[in-house]
Amino acid sequence: MLNSPTQDIRYTSTQFLEQDAQQRLLILKSLGLVRYNFLTQIPLNEANIICVMHFFKAPNRVKFPNLRGADLSGLVLDGVNFIRADLTGANLKGSRLLEADLIFGNFTRADLREADLRGATLNETVWSEALVERCNLGSGIGLTNQQRTELKFRGAIFG
């Protein structure tokens, strides 16, 4: 998989997403990517094929997840480590990320409507054009006062 042409990586990524969660976990273990076990939950669709391709292209060089445009809607991602994750345009609508580590995360144009981020660490996060209506940010750990004010104005819930 490491030196496969893009078409082969796409095929492999599609095949991965067609597997059940147990099979996906075995594949992730074999590639040394078990810390990204959230990939066992994501549905098979175009956005997630592209997402998985980023991981499979160079699994030994994955440190900060590229989740641009990924469909993570409705998933339970409690405690996930998305430090420096690029979630630009990602769909997190209705997802639960309790106690998640989202330091330096980029949520530009991400859909976080009705997501639950209570207890998540949000230091140095980027929220440009993110949809946050009814997004529960709890106490907003790590957010600046300016971010809190802006996110609340855009419909985020604190407390």
Measure CA of the first residue to CA of the last residue in the chain; give whole Å: 45
Residue 2: per-residue pLDDT: 44
Classify residue 53 by burial, with Cβ atoms within 10 Å: 0-12, 13-18, 19+: middle
The whole-model pTM stands at 0.92
Sorted by where each begins, the domain ranges of the chain are 1-62, 63-159
Whether 142 and 123 have beta carbons less than 8 Å apart is answered as yes
**Which residues of the chain have a pLDDT value below 50?**
1-4
For 6-38, what is each residue's pLDDT tens digit? 679 999 999 999 999 999 999 999 999 999 999
Residue 114: per-residue pLDDT: 98
Residue 6: per-residue pLDDT: 67
Classify residue 50 by burial, with Cβ atoms within 10 Å: 0-12, 13-18, 19+: middle
**CATH H-level superfamily of 63-159:** E3 ubiquitin-protein ligase SopA (2.160.20.80)
Mean pLDDT of the chain: 94
Indicate the SS3 state at residue 81. strand
Residue 4: per-residue pLDDT: 47
Of 65, 90, 55, 92, the residue nearest 77 (C-alpha): 92
Residue 62: per-residue pLDDT: 84
Of all residues in the chain, what percent carry a pLDDT higher than 70? 96
